[in-house]
């Protein structure tokens, strides 16, 4: 999930994940939480909140790079009886940005089995589509057309998905430093084949444009699957998302 960097308000919070959600819901929290854990493999999860309600959820496997989003991600996180969570606050505007950037991770309803859990959550912890639409409208964030959504799906399905360690530092300061860090990451993973990816990055004039065109970067990268391993491409894109998230 791509989320603007928030202000840390509590690190190392302990308890069951269900209890964490209840507490944040009761306090009308806006921001996100991060949790690292291991079931079948080491995973990192994020849940985005808007005014105490869950907006989106996502999980990324550290080794396989498999991604789980939406209600499926929330379902897995709710099985964590003991976990350590970091809590970060966001402004309402940055919550709106994160909502727009993570449409595929939107949680529309609680997992069905949650209603059968004694003392479980209620649907009141889930932000409704109307509430999400109101937030996006307030900050002038445009909802993509169906044609644009279809193109995003096509881009996501193009190409496919080995793992190497990136040495790129998280960018600080100007937008140019962000572009430089992304271009260096592309060169690290793709070598001379990074030209097409870097042309897209270089043509962007703002962070917002770069985020909007990330599906295009993804498409350019995955078109190289004949020459570069799928896992390496996927790992590069995950690293780019991390860099952008730290910058914004």
Q: Which residue has the tokens 């998302």?
A: 241
Residue 219 shares a structural domain with residue 128: no
Strand partners, 59: 45, 68
DSSP bridge pairs for 43: 37, 61
User: Which carries the bigger pLDDT value, residue 207 or residue 246?
Assistant: 207
pLDDT bucket at 57, cuts 50 / 70 / 90? very high
Last residue of a domain, one of 138, 164, 189: 138
Is 180 within a domain? yes
Residue 49 lies in a domain: yes
Model-level pTM greater than 0.75?
no
The last residue of one of the domains, among 110, 138, 166, is 138
Q: For residue 248, which of 184, 157, 171 has the smallest C-alpha distance? A: 171
Q: For helices 195-203 and 214-222, give the axis angle rounded to 10 degrees.
A: 170
Do 192 and 98 lie in one domain? The reply is no
Evaluate whether 99 touches 135 at the Cβ level (below 8 Å). yes
**Whether residues 14 and 124 fall in one domain:** yes
Confidence at residue 182, expressed as pLDDT on a 0 to 100 scale: 92
pLDDT, tens digit (0-9, with 9 covering 90-100), for 10-34: 888 888 898 888 888 888 999 999 9
Residues 114-137: tens digit of each pLDDT? 544 445 565 566 666 666 666 656
* Domain presence at residue 120: yes
Residues 205 and 234 in one domain: yes
What pLDDT, in 10s, does the model give residues 200-217?
999 998 888 888 888 899
Residue 181 pLDDT greater than 50, yes or no: yes
Domain region containing 171: 146-247
With a cut of 60, say whether residue 188 has pLDDT above it: yes
Q: What is the pLDDT of residue 202?
A: 92
More confident residue, 228 or 73: 73
């Amino acid at each position: 999930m791509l989320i603007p960097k928030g202000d840390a308000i509590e690190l190392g919070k302990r308890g069951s994940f269900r209890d964490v959600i209840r507490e944040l819901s009761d306090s009308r929290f806006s921001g996100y939480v991060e949790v690292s854990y291991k079931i079948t493999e080491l995973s990192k999860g994020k849940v985005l909140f808007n005014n105490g309600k869950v907006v989106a959820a996502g999980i990324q496997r550290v080794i396989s790079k498999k991604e789980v989003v939406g209600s499926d991600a929330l379902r897995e996180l709710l099985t964590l009886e003991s976990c350590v969570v970091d809590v970060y606050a966001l402004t309402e505007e940055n919550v709106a940005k994160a909502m727009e950037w993570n449409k595929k991770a939107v949680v529309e309803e609680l997992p069905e089995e949650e209603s059968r859990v004694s003392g479980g959550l209620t649907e009141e912890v889930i932000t409704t589509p109307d509430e999400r639409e109101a937030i996006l409208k307030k900050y002038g964030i445009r909802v993509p057309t169906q044609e644009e959504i279809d193109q995003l799906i096509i881009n996501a399905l193009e190409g496919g998905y080995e793992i190497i360690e990136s040495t790129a530092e998280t960018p600080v300061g100007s937008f140019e430093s962000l572009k430089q860090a992304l271009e260096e990451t592309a060169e690290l993973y793709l070598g001379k084949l990074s030209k097409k990816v870097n042309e897209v990055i270089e043509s962007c004039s703002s962070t917002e444009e770069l985020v909007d065109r990330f599906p295009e970067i993804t498409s350019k990268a995955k078109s190289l699957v004949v020459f570069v391993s799928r896992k390496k491409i996927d790992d590069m894109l995950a690293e780019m998302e991390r860099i952008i998230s730290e910058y914004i």
